Chain A
Amino acid sequence: MTITSAGTRRPTTRSDGEAPVLFASRRRWSESVIKLVLRLAAILTIATTVGILIALVIPSISFFSEVSIIEFLFGTRWAPRFAQASFGVVPLITATLWTTMIALIVAVPLGLGAAILLSEYAHPRLRKILKPMLEILAGVPTVVYGFFALQFVQTTVLREWLGLPTQAFSVLSAGLVMGVMIVPTIASLAEDAMSSVPSALRQGSAALGANRMQTSLRVVFPAALSGIVAAVVLGISRAVGETMIVAIAAGNQAQIVASPLDQGQTMTGFIANAALGDSRVGSLEYNTLFAVGLLLFLLTMLINAISIGFVRRYREAY
C-alpha cells in the first residue's frame, strides 16, 4: 500500500555515450498493448449489455412466435405450466405494482426525512455516525429481509398481532419490508442532491428571516428537486427488480392482486420460481422466463433513463 516513489528509479539513460536525442520511446510498443487491454476491459461492459439483450431477445423471439405480444401484454391469466396454458402477464404486473407502491409509500417519506435531517440539520459528527448505520440497512442481504418479511411481518405482525385476514403470504408484508430496504438508497442519493445545493442559498434564506424548516422545504428541497426525483426513481427501479423478498413473502400464485393482503407473484417472483423447475432449454416454459425477463429489463431501463435525465437536469442547475 506504499506509494512507489519515482525517485528510487535510476534516470533512464539507456546506453552510455549515446548523444541524448529526442525520439519515440522504446516502451511505446508494450504500452499500446496495455492500453488495448484496458480498452478491451472497458468495452466488455458494452458486451455485457449486448449479451443481456441477446440472451433475453433470442428466447423471447421463439416465445413470441408461439404467443402473441397482445396476449402477453394484455392477457389477464398467467398459467404457463397448466395444460390449458395462458400467458397474460397482467397478473404479474399487478403484483409488481402493489409491492412497488407499498415499498414507495414506506421508503419515500422515510428516505427523504432521513435525507433532510442528514443534509440540513445533522452536525457533521452526527452525520458520521448516522450514515454508516443507514449503510448497514442497505447491506442486509435481501434473502434475510425476505425471511424477516415472512416470519415476522407476515406471520407475527399482520396475522397474530393485527389479526388481519391474510393467508401465508401477502404483497403487503413483502412491500413493507422492501420499502425499508430501499430507504438507504433514496436517503443517500437525496442527501447528495441537497448537500450540493450551494450554502449561499441557505444563507440568503436565513438572512430574510426564514427558519431551518422553511429553508429546507422552500429553498433547498425545490433546488434539489431533480436530484431528489432521481433518487426516488432509482428506488422504484430497485423495487421493481427486487427478487428475494417477493419470492419468499409475496407468494407464488399468479393472480390479479386486488388487495394488499392478497398473495401475488411479481415478474421477478415468477422468474425465480420458474427457474426452480428444471425446464428444458428451448421449451416454451424456458422461453417464458426470458420473455418476462425482457419485459422487466426494458421496464427498469426506461425507469433508469428517466432517473439519469433528472440527474442531468440538476447537474446543469449547479
Chain B
Amino acid sequence: MKADNRTSESDIRPLKLGGNAERAPRPLIFLGLLWLSLLVAFSVLVTLLVTILVEGLPVLSSDLVTEYPSSRPEEAGARPAILGSVWVIITTAVLTLPLGIAAAVHLEEFADKHNWLNRLIELNVQNLAAVPSIIYGLLALGFLAMLQVDNKNIVIGGALALSLLILPVVIMATREGLRAVPREIRDASLALGATTWQTVWRQVLPASVPSIATGSILALSRALGEAAPLLVLGALVYITFDPNGLLSGYTTLPIQIFNWTGRPQEGFHQLAAATSVLLLIVLLLMNALAIYIRNAYQKRW
C-alpha cells in the first residue's frame, strides 16, 4: 500500500475512494477457496447419491424387501437383512438407552465432580467415543468366547457390541440435554421440599426428553449404519430365514451391502446400490425425525 509519513497535524489525507479491502483480489480468492471446500464436499455427496441411485433404481422393487438372498442376483432380496437390522437395533435400543440415560443422570445430577472416580468416568466416556468401532466387535467376540458361546452370530451378540459402541454417544447427548435445563427449575422443585431424585424424575428428565430423544435417535441411526463390529462377530453369513429371537442368527443391511459389493457379478452391485438407497432412506427418515423433535421442542426457556 502506501507509505505513511505524516509530518504535521494539519496535513489533510482524504479518504481514498473506490477501494474496498474486502474486495481486493486476495480476500476474494480466499473466500472463493472457502466456498470451494464446501462445494467439493457437497458435490462428492451428490455424486455418491447419484451413483447409487443410477445403479440401484432398476432393481429397487418390492422384491428387494420380500425376497431372500440367492446366488442369482435377479432372484435375490434383502428380507432377512432388513428383519435382522430391525431385531438388532431394537435390542440395542433396549440395552443402551436405560443404561446411557442412567449414567448421564448420575454424572450430571448426582456425581460429585471432584471425586476421582467420577472424573475418571468422565474422561473414560470421552475416550470410549474415540475407540474404533471394530474394537467393540472384538470385545463382544471375546466376551461371547468367555461365555463359551460357539455360534457368535446371534442377535444379542451384535446388539451388545453396538450398544457399547453408542453408549458414550447416548451419555453425552443426554448430559447435554440435562445441562440445558436451567438451575431455577431445580431450585424451585427443591425449595418445595422435593428430593434430588424427585426433582430429576419429575422436572429435569421430562424437560429434557426432546434432546434425549434427538440424541438417542441419532445414536441409533449410527448403530444402524455400522457394519464393522458385526463383521467381526460373523454376521456375514448366508441367511435364508427370518430372524426370530435374541439367539437367532442374523445379518443386517450394511453387512448385506458389504456382501453384495464384494461379489464379481454386476447384478449384485446393483443390489448393493439398491440396498444402500433403502438404508439411506431409513437413516434420512430417522435424522428428519430427530431434527423435527429438536425443532418442535426447542428451548422453551
A–B direct touch in complex (beta carbons closer than 8 A): yes
Asked if residues B34 and A41 are in contact (CB atoms below 8 Å), the reply is no
Asked if residues B106 and A45 are in contact (CB atoms below 8 Å), the reply is no
Asked if residues A49 and B110 are in contact (CB atoms below 8 Å), the reply is no
Determine whether A137 belongs to the interface, using a CB cutoff of 8 Å to chain B. Answer: yes
A interface: dominant SS = helix
> Which positions 234-277 of chain A face chain B at CB distance < 8 Å?
234, 237-238, 240-244, 247-248, 268, 271-272, 275-276
Nearest chain B CB to A248's CB is how many angstroms away?
6
- Tally the A-B contacts, defined by beta carbons under 8 Å: 295
With beta carbons under 8 angstroms apart, the residue of B107, B126, B228 that contacts A308 is B126
Asked if residues B106 and A39 are in contact (CB atoms below 8 Å), the reply is yes
With beta carbons under 8 angstroms apart, the residue of A31, A139, A145, A272 that contacts B48 is A145
With beta carbons under 8 angstroms apart, the residue of A110, A148, A276, A290 that contacts B142 is A290
Determine whether A104 belongs to the interface, using a CB cutoff of 8 Å to chain B. Answer: no
Determine whether A164 belongs to the interface, using a CB cutoff of 8 Å to chain B. Answer: no
Asked if residues A117 and B37 are in contact (CB atoms below 8 Å), the reply is yes
Chain B residues positioned under 8 Å from A117 (CB to CB) = 31, 34-35, 37-38
Q: Give the interface residue-count category, chain B.
A: 35 or more
Roughly how many angstroms separate A240 CA and B135 CA in the complex, as a whole number? Answer: 12
Determine whether A61 belongs to the interface, using a CB cutoff of 8 Å to chain B. Answer: no
Roughly how many angstroms separate A253 CA and B167 CA in the complex, as a whole number? Answer: 34
> Which positions 179-216 of chain B face chain A at CB distance < 8 Å?
188-189, 192-198, 202-203, 206-207, 209-210
Asked if residues A39 and B110 are in contact (CB atoms below 8 Å), the reply is yes
What mask results when residues 21 to 55 of chain B are scored 1 for a CB within 8 Å of chain A, else 0? 11010110011011111101110110110011001
> Which positions 26-50 of chain A face chain B at CB distance < 8 Å?
27, 31, 34-35, 37-39, 41-46, 48-49
Asked if residues A213 and B31 are in contact (CB atoms below 8 Å), the reply is yes
Chain B residues positioned under 8 Å from A307 (CB to CB) = 130
Chain A residues positioned under 8 Å from B44 (CB to CB) = 137, 177, 180
A side interface size, CB within 8 A: 96
The 3 closest A-B pairs by CB, nearest first: A241-B132, A113-B37, A141-B225
25 inter-chain pairs at a CB distance below 8 angstroms, sorted by A residue, are: A12-B193, A25-B195, A38-B106, A43-B117, A48-B167, A51-B139, A55-B143, A56-B139, A56-B142, A113-B38, A117-B38, A137-B41, A140-B280, A142-B228, A143-B255, A143-B257, A147-B273, A217-B30, A244-B254, A247-B231, A275-B141, A290-B142, A297-B132, A301-B130, A308-B126
